[in-house]
Structure 1
């Protein structure tokens, strides 16, 4: 289903995405990091993660990963990984194609790079254009990069499991960013064990596409040539829980946000707040509980809201006095 086209047909097009300037700057930085056969990238990998003798500029292997279609590219990537592991030499796989099973459907993934070290270990490399100032980058952006890298690492683990013996996929990824505000690369090894565990658990809980399709009304279609009313009915037949984080990742986020606001859902304010409010699933129910007009007094969430309401009333009364 082309989600971006579907969002436009629903009248709620996605407004996120990189500016052309940011895209060009990121592309130029990535090209610099991988220049000269990835000499600087491999040096950074060795400096932060080891993996064998220090790489010699110009001697690293950079296999051609081109092939027809994502299936062909993923097969070519697995062949290159196998050959690199057997060769025992520094190898840079530039934009490899990995495949990950997501609820029974293959998802094709393209990390910035994967490095195979002489000791046979495989490392995911994530190249970002946000700066690393005094050796540290913005924590939120590093966290997002770690979550993204965890998905790549899981796909790489699946590829490794198909070899005998299975090579080690490092649980630390190499994050490469501009140093301070220059165009010089700096790197940091990021431990993604927590993200791997969370992502693996989330994937195991996903409902298969076939099971979701079986619950839809007969004749449901997401054909973008249908009328907005038909498409809206089709989208609303699929359960969805909107959260503000969706705005950064899903093309249908604006449509779902409008639905959540129209239904007065607490999730529109954030998942953490939704979790704290328990059985209070709407904003009006939470406000009524705070005013003491509804809710079970023994419910911790209701009790906390009522106490907060009392403190607010006292503060307002004190300010008026």
Structure 2
């Protein structure tokens, strides 16, 4: 237990934090563990305290969104999950023969397969860390099937389970990501590869914690992405450089407000217990925690529809996107933006205000021109010719 968690006037002991998170989630509710996909999404929006506390407490956001009347279609379909599981099983069959062949190893018997069984995620993480150190010291190839890694996020431990980790004889550790989307002619969908890279970056960060206390160990920043080749079910692989994703994720996770700070700011009566609380009580509890909605949340968070509705009701510019929000500077509401464009508010020397007024003038001029060029016959043709 680190001193930052159990000392100081605003740092409750970890046991107290766990108790408070259990109260928020509902004492009878089993917590939903954070995975790398959710953690990558959380790191992409570190200013959202709402997601941080809900994920930290292990609240089922899918069930919460449904009870709030804003169910989200976010998430993989059961068909996609089944297809992915079947492909991963094929890749790892026969001692990982096909996976090891992608690494240039033709004989699986030369590769160690450490036993990682232990009680609970904390026990499995400890067993994985020990096995990684032993494999590195042995100087042999080793394949870790679904190891358990630990990473501290906003003051709370998170346990992560990559598809596989390979230990090289020279002490390098490589993360293996197995995905069921195809790699056609050596390349795959850029958006899907990017999502896989962000997810793998979280595993790399977790591995670096263990590598830091392991002699001779080094975590590779090129992960092995394994996908079906072309339109077949045969696996193929590509090395993906995740240095940029690792740097961004590390920086974003460091910006996350500590979970105990968010929990301490909530009144004792606040609860996210989906099973016991009414929709009205849940809506009130959720509104107690600030959110940072952006359109990107629609593909990354189960509460996106609910937060979008609230953002629109509040007339905030952020609902239009982070890039728009950044361009508008101190204009934080759509009403203020429109008023500035009309010349009713805002400092004329503000670059954002000046740009809005010039844009409005250009729009007015364009509409006026369109109005004078409407008509039939020769007039219409002349107007079109002028536009060209």
TM-score by length of 1: 0.91
C-alpha distance in 2 between matches for 1:86 and 1:55: 23
C-alpha distance in 2 between matches for 1:16 and 1:204: 26
C-alpha distance in 1 between matches for 2:366 and 2:335: 22
Confirm or deny that 1:275 pairs with 2:326: yes
Confirm or deny that 1:175 pairs with 2:225: yes
> 2:252 — aligned with what?
202
> 1:151 — aligned with what?
202
Q: CA RMSD in A?
A: 1.8
C-alpha distance in 1 between matches for 2:361 and 2:189: 38
Cα deviations by residue, 1:204-237 (Å, 9 ceiling, x for unpaired): 2211111112222342222221222222121111
Matched position secondary structure for 1:242 = coil
Contact kept, 8 Å, 2:298 with 2:304, in 1: the verdict is yes
C-alpha distance in 1 between matches for 2:71 and 2:136: 45
- Displacement, 1:167? 0.6
> 2:343 — aligned with what?
292
Specify every segment of 5 or more residues in structure 1 that has no aligned partner in the other structure, as ranges.
Answer: 47-53
Question: Which segments of structure 1 move beyond 6 Å, counting only runs of 4 or more?
Answer: none
Check 1:42–1:231 CA distance in 2 against 1; reply closer, same or farther (3 A cut).
same
**74-83 vs 55-64, greater mean Cα deviation:** 55-64
> 1:63 — aligned with what?
114
Matched position secondary structure for 2:151 = strand
Confirm or deny that 1:227 pairs with 2:278: yes
Matched position secondary structure for 2:144 = strand
Check 1:61–1:302 CA distance in 2 against 1; reply closer, same or farther (3 A cut).
same
Matched position secondary structure for 1:143 = helix
Cα deviations by residue, 1:15-55 (Å, 9 ceiling, x for unpaired): 22212221122112212222221222223234xxxxxxx45
Contact kept, 8 Å, 1:123 with 1:174, in 2: the verdict is yes
- Displacement, 1:307? 2.2
Cα deviations by residue, 1:149-186 (Å, 9 ceiling, x for unpaired): 111100010121232x1510001111112222221222
Confirm or deny that 1:118 pairs with 2:169: yes
Compare relative contact order (CA 8 Å, sep 6+) and give the higher one, 1 or 2: 2
TM-score by length of 2: 0.76
C-alpha distance in 2 between matches for 1:8 and 1:152: 31
Specify every segment of 5 or more residues in structure 2 that has no aligned partner in the other structure, as ranges.
Answer: 1-24, 26-58, 374-388
Contact kept, 8 Å, 1:62 with 1:91, in 2: the verdict is yes
Contact kept, 8 Å, 2:136 with 2:216, in 1: the verdict is no
Check 1:275–1:93 CA distance in 2 against 1; reply closer, same or farther (3 A cut).
same
Check 1:102–1:166 CA distance in 2 against 1; reply closer, same or farther (3 A cut).
farther
C-alpha distance in 2 between matches for 1:314 and 1:176: 55
> 1:136 — aligned with what?
187
- Between Structure 1 and Structure 2, how many residues are aligned? 313
> 2:261 — aligned with what?
211
> 1:24 — aligned with what?
82
